[in-house]
Amino acid sequence: VGTLQAQFGAVVKRRRLAAGLSQEALAEAAGLHFTYISLLERGKRAPTIVVVKKLSGALNTSMTELIRELEQGDAPAGVGEGT
């Protein structure tokens, strides 16, 4: 991966696919534009904490969990469960 935003993009993509969502569906659920989701997943945007919160809600998880995955670089066994 590489930059922090590329790593975050990978976390979002992994979570989105685990949830069975298209980029369009995630965008709709998060109140963000579809093209922004595409840029984000490709590491072309560094999201603000406001965007991280919107994504966490749409992905049925918490900001803390998304950032934990970003820092640890792993996907927990429970990913997608929203536990």
Q: Which positions touch a second copy (CB under 8 A)?
A: 4-5, 8, 46-50, 52-53, 62-64, 67-68, 70-71
Find where tokens 């709709």 sit: 28
- In the complex with a second copy, which residue's Cβ is closer, 12 or 19? 12
Q: How many Cβ atoms sit within 10 Å of the Cβ of residue 30? A: 21
To the nearest whole angstrom, how small is the minimum distance from the Cβ of residue 49 to a second copy? 6
- In the complex with a second copy, which residue's Cβ is closer, 22 or 83? 83
Question: Do 58 and 26 touch, CB atoms closer than 8 A?
Answer: yes
CA 41 to chain centre: 8
- In the complex with a second copy, which residue's Cβ is closer, 7 or 38? 7
Read off the tokens for 67: 């950032």
